[in-house]
Structure 1
Amino acid sequence: MGGGLALGVGLVGQRLPPDLPAAFHCLCAHPRASVRAMAQDADITDAPARPGRKWLTFGNAIRAVVLLGVGGTAWAWVTREDIAYDIIAGELNNRGIEAEYKVEQISAYRQVLTDIVIGDPDRPDVTIERVEIITQPRLGLPGVQEVRLVRPRVFGRIADGQLSLGSLDKLLYTGGDEPFALPDLALSIDDGRALIESDYGRLGAKLRGSGNLADGFTGELAVVAPTLALADCSAQEASLFGAVSIEGGKPHFAGPLRFDSLACGETVKLANGGVELDLLAASDLATVSGRAGIATGAGQAPGASTAALKGNSSFSWREGLLTADYRLEARDLATSEGRFAKFEADGLVRARDNFARFEGEGTIEGTGLQPGVRPGRLLADAQRSAEGTLLAPLIEQANGALASELRGARLLADFSFRQTAERLSLVVPQAELRGRSGDIVLGLSRAQFALEGEGLPRFDGNFLTGGAGLPRISGRMEQAPGEPLSLRLSMADYVAGDARLAIPALRMTQGRDGAISFAGRVFASGAVPGGSVRGAEVPLDGTYSSDGTIALWRGCQTFKVEALEVGNLAFGRERIELCPQGQQPLLRYGAQGLRFAASTAPLDFRARMGGAPLHLATGALAVSWPGTLSTSAALVELGEGEDVVRLTLGQLDARLEQDFIGGTFAEAAPYLPAVPLDISQGSGTWRYTDGVLSLSDVAFRLEDRAAPDRFEPLTAQSAELSLEDGVICARALLREPDSKVAVTRVALAHDLATGAGHADLAVDGITFDSKFQPQNLSRLALGVVANVSGTVTGTGRIDWNADGVTSSGRFASDSLDLAAAFGPVKHARGEIVFTDLLGMTTAPNQTIKVGTINPGIEIYDGELRYQLTNGERLDIGGGQWPLLGGTLTLRPLTMNIGQTESRTYTVVIDGLEASRFIERLELNNLAATGTFDGVIPIVFDEDGNGFLEGGVLTSRAPGGNLAYVGQLTYEDLSFMGNLAFQTLRDLRFDDAEILLDGPLAGELVTRVRFEGIGQGEAAQKNIISRTIARLPLELRLNIRAPFYKLISSTRSLYDPSSLRDPRGLGLIGESGEVLREEIDQEAVDERDAEAERAAEEEINRQRGDEPAIQPSESEDAL
């Protein structure tokens, strides 16, 4: 009896090897070892839940039952039935185990207990319907030969990783040090079941079998778990079913572990999993070995998914050492980058010291790659972003070539890894992704990844890219201990059409703070926004810090191009050197935004624009963003020779900030050869906001380029200009600079895309007075008009496009008074229409109506026709005025304005009535009749001197009459004198002719000839007169006198309303040289008074003491 009890106690008191749970945990936790299990027929009767219950294994339950059975058998053998209850109860009480049972039979060979309840009867830990213990006497004592358990039920819990079977814990956890061994005992279990409540879910198990536990036990085990959860992973409908056997003390299990689904969070999922297990343990359970065949349905992990997974593994576990080989195959392994039709991995793993050290090596192979949409989409997005640049065709070609090469590509890689508590390393001796053409698209060699403690990861290795139509890049990344990570790469010339890109060398290093520095050079050709570049050489020199800040070019950098075209601008071989300001890099981009600061030496570029030569030059330039821009002596020249278009800027300054870009400019001077106008002294302020360039407070000087100037310089203040959406708009008010008189308002618009534009001119009203004269606007008015009084208004328009420039204008005045070379003009009015305003060309037959004109005799209500051509030639089509009963006509003539030439004004007089002529001259003592016609040429030589040449006035038939009707106040003449005066005081003539010759500013010779002379009715008749009347008489008079004095000698010395002689006004000298441009009125008044006194003295001197005509007393003497 004591030996049986000791056997039972020794069996249940043994401890499991401490490393066995870890080994099983490793195998079950491996993602490829998680499979579906199904327990067939696991009919479990739930027991009331009790807090703190732990999980019960069937081996431990058997030990408890054997303890009861053996103890009971020993006592029964000695004392039989009378003392059985007392002995068993005492033993259980000694161990503190609460139990109830019934003794059905006690005999030497068979003991039967029924209705066994261990633990609280209301919440039992173990119940057994029936226990049979077959004994065989040995050495006089009973020995247990077989134990039969009928419908045992075990209830337990697993909490905080610890198994508890309630009351049986006192039998299971005895603290013994003996090695584990299965007892040499036959055991039969009929319908054994267990229910374990755990933190991971409820487990139900069913076991049936029989045989010797040391050798020969066979049975079936089924375990089910509706839901198992560990951390954020859970399995649904998990089950384990298989055959259990023990041979030579070594337990063996063979059967499937299955589950419907396995999920870890929302990222890892596996469906319909199964692991076919074949496990063999050593007799002491210290070693476990076996094989596993894996098969699952669809699965997914972060960034990847598979349609199915299968594989197999052989493994062994002994004393904390796991060794396993594996071969896995995934079907339709898909990521966002592509899908492999088949992906295989095989290799070997080893774990030591309970997984404190984990290592392995293997090979992976993927075949039948179908590229995903993500790489193509990323490249397509990059291509769209780079549209219009040389990168677009390169990316497009790479995208197409990559899609072609990756279709059906093959991945092959060897690897090894090692992990300890302090270090993780992964070595890839060789890895390559071969495209459909057989070329390596991406390759790695001698690659190693290492991570130690909390430090930064390290990576060493070589890489290369290639394939048909793909860029060929090779490089190496390495990091020596204690040194920064460095990367060296180069890219061969990559060409797509006209685009090409090459990186001869690029070196990048990463410090311990994560900052990356890089240095290299890029060569590029192809499209750039708005044009193209060829042979561009761009240095790369900068850093990328751990906070995301990029800094480029800390020293002076030279940028080169072989050719550059932007729009219609084409540069040849050029270079520019940019230097940073101070210790800052040229460019910095980070949390504070973009920063740029650079300076250059004076720039001088030669290019072509639209086939025409272009010259760009500036002084030293300094620019910073945000900050300022400053340059001087800027020059832009387009064209060559006389056709060059030029813009010069004396100074350009700007303030550049995020919300403001603007500044000032000075000494701007654009030059357009096609436009005969020059702008100079341009200055103002400018601003660039929301895509609009605005100029304000602009001042400039506008001059005529023609020689001589057609107009005097004009200036503008507070002009405005804007450039928006490729359209320039400008407004300015042009003034005469000295008087500040507003001349014209200009509104301009120009489309840069089409080269078309227009300018509207508006003359609101230019008023001429004593302070402002036409010569203030144009020197050409000198010698043509003077003393202008009145207002001129009008409009003009200038249009230009690719075909050329056109302009027009219309100007008018209601009343103008002026002095011209042929006399003063009053109340001139009319409209002048320009067909070419810039060219100063008018339409033919322009007319001006003239109120009065006074070439010596005031003429009223005339009309003048003319045409101006190119501002150089004035064609006078003629003019006509009513004149004293007849007409005065100015014949057509041509004047070349601004040129030294002789000009002839031919005046035709038709039907001049002598009586009205005498009346107009207010010669009250004279009376005349007769009608005169004639032609008077007025010639002005190159020096501006005026002459009458061959002027002729002839009387019409039948002649006329000339009589003195005033009273004589003279003393009588001699008899003959009185006779002659009385006889000739009233003359009748048949024919009269007046010839005019001589300078207007000098002595004019007037020759008067009368024929067919006879006495008029008022003449005194006598015998002498009657005798003379029978004779043919001809009277000829020669008169020499200055022209201006001759015309008005009977009224006054000078007529203040007539046009003054420029010599008498002090404007020109006797030889025609210009003395001054404006009249000095005080000097003129003094000169006039002196001339009047001199003339009066001359008259008195010629008269002497006696009058030239004798007094009337002489008539009596006759």
Structure 2
Amino acid sequence: MAQEAAEALSTKPAGRKRRILRNALRLALALLVLALGYAWFDREQIADSFLSDYLAEQGVQASYQIDRIGTGQQVISNLVIGDPARPDLTVERVEVSIAPRWGIPAVTSVRLVNPRLYGSYRDGQLSFGALDPLVFTGSEEPFEFPDMTLAIEDGRALIETDYGRVGARLAGSGHLRGGFSGELAAVMPELALAGCQGQEATLYGTVSIDAERPRFQGPLRLADLACDNGLAVQQAGVALDLRIERSFEEFDGTANLSLASLAMADAQAAVHGTSRFSWDKGDLTAEYDLAADHVASAQAQLGELALEGRLRALDSFARVEMDGDLTGEDLRLGPELDQALAAAAESGEGTLAQPLLARLRGGLARELPGSRLAAGYTLRHEDGRTSLVVPDAFLRGRSGASLLALSRAQFAMGDGLPRFSGNFATGGTDLPQVSGRVERLGNGGLQMQLAMREYAAGTARLALPRLTVRQASDGALALDGNATASGPLPGGMVSNLQLPIDAQVASNGDLALWQGCRQLRFDRLAMASLTLGRQSLTLCPQRGQPILRYGAGGLRLAVGANALQLAGELADTPIRIASGPIGVAYPGVMAARDLAITLGPADSAQRFTVTDLRADLSADSIGGEFTGADVFLASVPLDVLDASGRWAYADSRFTVTDASLRLEDREATDRFQPVGAHEASLSLADNLITADAVLRHPSSDTPLSRVHIVHNLSSSTGHADLIVDGVTFGPHLQIAPPAADCLPGGGSARVEHNGLTCLALGVVSDVSGTVTGTGRIDWNAEAVTSSGSFTSQGLDLAAAFGPVHGAAGTIEFTDLLGMTTAPSQRITVEAINPGIEVYDGEMFFQLEGGELLRFQGAHWPFMGGTLTMLPVDLRFGAPEVRRYVMVIDGLEANQFVERMEMSNLAANGTFDGIIPIVFDEDGNGQLEGGALTSRPPGGNVAYVGELSYEDMGFFANYAFRTLRDLQFNRMEIQLNGPLTGELVTQVRFEGIRQGASAERNLISRAIGSIPIELRVNIRAPFYKLMTSIRALYDPASIRDPRDLGLLRDDGVRL
């Protein structure tokens, strides 16, 4: 509409009045734009040209409505500059007053009604859109306020920035070169600046101009601010009184600061203070008086902390210098630091750190409340370097004692490591006394020398007799000194431990500790029940390398010793620790060879040896392998030999896995052959050891027993559970190995055998069947006990007195380790054949010490009577005379004939007797005084079959028919002789007479009334005597024990 009006005016004849009006309108609009930009709008002298031509020349899109044109006033309404859809400036009404000045029309006043300004601040650039050509003209002329009066009614602005939206309101009036007064309010609901997030930032105050010097008076407030670096502000306010010089390059003012809460990381305080400041062309000078109340952090607390001094910043903060005084009151330990000291003392319980830290904490708790802090300082910053100079500083405790004193202290930060110089000293009741001096060397470096007097608490003592720290000009450090410590350690204590301190820290932070071989000395070291006397250990690095390094590549450790030789006592028992070469490389491996630990006197020592021990120190957890480990315990007659496997330490747990070992009996006469285990495991955590293994027969890999062990190191108590799930004996596994493995010189076959114990050789062999059972071993600091129970449902075996079939029962051990059973262990036997097979018997025995078998008797039903084996003591592996006595009670002759399947014979009568078998020390066996006697009234024996041989002649046939059926009053059989030679059997009949089936004749009737005694001598091998008749047609009915390996061919028992 404004453009149409301009076109309409241009078609009419030109006139002077119309030209004056057009020029006035152009001038008024130009002055309006300049007035809205305050100091910017009037940078260019207002041209007398027409406003529309001026806006067109500047490329400013605008629309407006001319309400009135006069010689002294022009009124424009609905002014819009910029895109009408998103204007940059709108003004509801503009009134411009013009009066001649020096004969030239000039704007004397501007009145703006409801102006609305829109702008942005992005990437450091301020923009008002279409107004930019009018505001940012590029003129280098000094800024000057226009000579006019400005009135703004309800002016508002909205600026979009990278940090948030700013809304402002301005209302006021007055001459711009002096007399203007108004109210300014600004609000920023959300603030985002350099990693910080703020809420509700507001500015409110009065704006005035006096002698072309703007002034603002009012508060700047911020509800809260939170930054990523931990800075947090709540309820912040600054009361400003700011005056700006007419050139806008200088200003001065005052600020009253109030922060309800200022927090950084875990520190928090309420801050207040005042400041006077001035800015002059890039230079800032300020005086400050600040105070922080109730300063609290996790490490320390202060009742009050105050800073007072001056600040000078030159060349836009390129150089900064601040000096002043710092004072504080009532310094205390923060809860976290106090708890850390308490936790450190608690975690150090049982060490020398615990009493020392407890004394330190107590001393600080008594001295710090009511303490006073004072220091003077000068802080400078230039070219990226910062220095702090403290001429003197002190912290005095409640008692007035100096807790910390600094003098001539300097601290510098820049390239390389921070540098410090000055004197310091600590002290106070119950606090360590440390004194030191830091001084600059001629080469630009620093040197600090300090010493700490012996600090003691109870039996704990720590001293630093000498420590020198040198800092080169590039920041590199070198430490040289020693430390002396005495006091308790976990489970023990140390006396006069002397530890060298030798370290280098490069300017980039790389650490090197202990160049060359170093000695560690102590007068006495006690750990638990282990006590070592005065010792000296020499530890050496790799050639040309320090023992410990730390840098960009992480931690590196390389240390070794050619050998260890330590001696002392363990629970009043002598102990000796020796080793071959030991080396540790981290990350890498740890290796130790030929470790040997000996406990006790030489003649009864417990010995532990490890041929090779390795650890991988580059993994997340420590672990490795070991080989050649042997364990010899004097109190346990079993040796663990040639153990190997993997071990690891992680999460406070020590474990052994995939372990293989061999278990052997240490006795001169092995009670059992070696057994092995593989895939065994062990775990140690919280002083509790648990171990699991399966003992196996070496050659057949047959599982013999599962073993589960638990041991508590704290109480020295534990137990082992043995579980025999089922051991089956057969061709590949026997109780007794072959004789060759048990004879001298047979040791080379110790691993490749099929037996469990040589003690059973000559006692049992050819075992077939399965045994199950469990065992338990318990121990404590005083004693070891063990028990077990083992069962078989049926074993077949060959014994010295004959084959055994179906031996079944349960054996209860009262001392499993000692191989001792309870008395009267019972085993049932389906059949036994000492020459004549007997069935369904039972045996009783007791085993003592694994060496003595007390055979307490055996009973069998025997051909109508009983067969009893009398008690006998058998000592395994010892040369002795052994006497086995068989007692026969009530044997029925007819059952004997039937059992022997002698169908051609018929007999009756009852017999009693005894059969002693005696083996001498050399194992030669014979029958001594064996006898069988018939019970009264005697019996009968008759041949009821047909003759199976040819006719022997008249008289022989006549005699046989006469004697084929005999009755006797008494029959006695005596047996004597060697088992493998000819056994002499004497048979004597008394009161002989013909039986009912015998042929009677003249001779038999003639001698029938004559008492006859018949004696028969038989010479035959023992094992074929009792079966000689049956053996005529079944010679394999009974096996010979010599064929079973129980006896040699010469009769010697194996």
Q: TM-score, normalised by structure 2?
A: 0.68
Verify the 8 A CA contact 1:736 1:743 in the aligned structure 2: no
Q: Which of residues 296, 302, 305 is equivalent to 1:339?
A: 302
Q: Is 1:551 aligned with 2:512?
A: yes
Shift of 1:633: 1.1
Q: Work out the CA distance in 2 between the residues paired with 1:558 and 1:672.
A: 34
Verify the 8 A CA contact 1:312 1:328 in the aligned structure 2: no
Q: Which of residues 755, 761, 775 is equivalent to 2:723?
A: 761
Q: Which of residues 859, 865, 868 is equivalent to 2:844?
A: 865
Query: Secondary structure in 2 aligned to 1:899?
Result: coil
Q: Is 1:800 aligned with 2:786?
A: no
Shift of 1:686: 4.0
Structure 2 letter corresponding to 1:699? S
Verify the 8 A CA contact 1:809 1:837 in the aligned structure 2: no
Distance 1:300 1:547, change over 3 A: farther
Query: Secondary structure in 2 aligned to 1:402?
Result: helix
Verify the 8 A CA contact 2:988 2:1014 in the aligned structure 1: yes
Which residue is 2:637 aligned to?
676
Q: Which of residues 778, 790, 794 is equivalent to 2:768?
A: 790
Verify the 8 A CA contact 2:432 2:452 in the aligned structure 1: yes
Q: What are the superposed Cα offsets for residues 404-432 of structure 1, whole Å, 9 maximum, x if unpaired?
A: 21222233446678999999876544432
Which residue is 1:431 aligned to?
393
Q: Is 1:480 aligned with 2:460?
A: no
Q: Which of residues 862, 869, 872 is equivalent to 1:890?
A: 869
Structure 2 letter corresponding to 1:535? N
Shift of 1:484: 1.8
Structure 1 letter corresponding to 2:580? G
Q: Work out the CA distance in 2 between the residues paired with 1:354 and 1:691.
A: 58
Which residue is 1:809 aligned to?
789
Verify the 8 A CA contact 2:1031 2:1037 in the aligned structure 1: no
Shift of 1:1035: 3.9
Q: Is 1:990 aligned with 2:976?
A: no
Query: Secondary structure in 2 aligned to 1:403?
Result: helix
Q: Work out the CA distance in 1 between the residues paired with 2:774 and 2:986.
A: 52
Which residue is 2:890 aligned to?
911
Structure 2 letter corresponding to 1:621? I
Verify the 8 A CA contact 2:710 2:718 in the aligned structure 1: yes
Verify the 8 A CA contact 2:677 2:693 in the aligned structure 1: no
Alignment of 1:948-967 (within 5 A): 948-963=927-942, 967=947
Shift of 1:444: 1.4
Q: Which of residues 354, 367, 372 is equivalent to 1:410?
A: 372
Verify the 8 A CA contact 2:531 2:569 in the aligned structure 1: yes
Q: What are the superposed Cα offsets for residues 420-459 of structure 1, whole Å, 9 maximum, x if unpaired?
A: 999987654443221111211010123345789x898754
Choose between structure 1 and 2 for higher RCO, CA contacts under 8 A separated by at least 6 residues. 1
Which residue is 1:535 aligned to?
496
Which residue is 2:164 aligned to?
none
Q: Work out the CA distance in 1 between the residues paired with 2:418 and 2:867.
A: 111
Q: Is 1:391 aligned with 2:353?
A: yes
Q: Is 1:1011 aligned with 2:998?
A: no
Q: TM-score, normalised by structure 1?
A: 0.65
Q: Is 1:516 aligned with 2:496?
A: no
Q: Work out the CA distance in 2 between the residues paired with 1:618 and 1:996.
A: 68
Which residue is 2:628 aligned to?
667
Q: Which of residues 35, 56, 62 is equivalent to 1:49?
A: 35
Task: Give the aligned CA root-mean-square deviation in angstroms.
Answer: 5.6
Alignment of 1:405-804 (within 5 A): 405-413=367-375, 428-448=390-410, 459-480=420-441, 482-526=443-487, 528=489, 532-566=493-527, 569-609=530-570, 612-640=573-601, 644-659=605-620, 661-688=622-649, 693=654, 695-721=656-682, 726-737=688-699, 740=700, 742-753=702-713, 755-769=717-731, 772=734, 774-775=736-737, 776-786=755-765, 788-802=766-780, 804=784
Q: Work out the CA distance in 2 between the residues paired with 1:845 and 1:569.
A: 47
Distance 1:557 1:422, change over 3 A: closer
Structure 1 letter corresponding to 2:405? G
Structure 1 letter corresponding to 2:710? H
Q: What are the superposed Cα offsets for residues 110-135 of structure 1, whole Å, 9 maximum, x if unpaired?
A: xxxxxx999742469xxxxxxxxxxx
Which residue is 1:185 aligned to?
none
Alignment of 1:230-269 (within 5 A): none
Verify the 8 A CA contact 1:119 1:167 in the aligned structure 2: no
Query: Secondary structure in 1 aligned to 2:359?
Result: helix
Which residue is 2:881 aligned to?
902
Verify the 8 A CA contact 1:310 1:330 in the aligned structure 2: no
Q: Work out the CA distance in 2 between the residues paired with 1:741 and 1:331.
A: 80
Q: Work out the CA distance in 1 between the residues paired with 2:994 and 2:224.
A: 146
Q: Which of residues 108, 112, 121 is equivalent to 1:121?
A: 108
Q: Is 1:826 aligned with 2:801?
A: no
Q: Work out the CA distance in 2 between the residues paired with 1:423 and 1:920.
A: 118
Which residue is 1:845 aligned to?
824
Q: Work out the CA distance in 2 between the residues paired with 1:981 and 1:1028.
A: 16
Q: Work out the CA distance in 1 between the residues paired with 2:40 and 2:491.
A: 79
Structure 1 letter corresponding to 2:991? G
Q: Work out the CA distance in 2 between the residues paired with 1:401 and 1:599.
A: 42
Verify the 8 A CA contact 1:722 1:730 in the aligned structure 2: no
Q: Work out the CA distance in 2 between the residues paired with 1:901 and 1:490.
A: 80
Q: Work out the CA distance in 1 between the residues paired with 2:1035 and 2:982.
A: 18
Q: Work out the CA distance in 2 between the residues paired with 1:829 and 1:804.
A: 30
Distance 1:545 1:801, change over 3 A: farther
Structure 1 letter corresponding to 2:35? A
Q: Work out the CA distance in 2 between the residues paired with 1:694 and 1:374.
A: 36
Structure 1 letter corresponding to 2:702? A
Structure 2 letter corresponding to 1:999? P
Which residue is 2:833 aligned to?
854
Shift of 1:467: 0.9
Distance 1:457 1:906, change over 3 A: closer
Q: Work out the CA distance in 1 between the residues paired with 2:844 and 2:534.
A: 61
Q: Work out the CA distance in 2 between the residues paired with 1:568 and 1:854.
A: 61
Q: What are the superposed Cα offsets for residues 360-391 of structure 1, whole Å, 9 maximum, x if unpaired?
A: 99876555556655754664576577677543
Shift of 1:583: 3.3
Query: Secondary structure in 1 aligned to 2:35?
Result: coil
Q: Work out the CA distance in 1 between the residues paired with 2:261 and 2:1005.
A: 153
Q: Work out the CA distance in 2 between the residues paired with 1:263 and 1:1066.
A: 107
Shift of 1:808: 0.9
Distance 1:349 1:223, change over 3 A: farther
Shift of 1:466: 0.9
Unmatched 5+ stretches in structure 2: 1-31, 43-96, 112-135, 149-167, 188-192, 195-200, 226-230, 244-252, 738-754
- How many positions carry a matched residue from both structures? 867
Query: Secondary structure in 1 aligned to 2:515?
Result: coil
Structure 2 letter corresponding to 1:889? T
Distance 1:797 1:915, change over 3 A: closer
Q: What are the superposed Cα offsets for residues 146-177 of structure 1, whole Å, 9 maximum, x if unpaired?
A: xxxxxxxxxxx9x99997555789xxxxxxxx
Query: Secondary structure in 2 aligned to 1:398?
Result: helix
Unmatched 5+ stretches in structure 1: 1-45, 57-97, 104-115, 125-156, 170-200, 208-220, 245-255, 278-291, 316-320, 1078-1118
Shift of 1:749: 3.6
Shift of 1:1014: 3.5
Q: Work out the CA distance in 2 between the residues paired with 1:758 and 1:1066.
A: 36
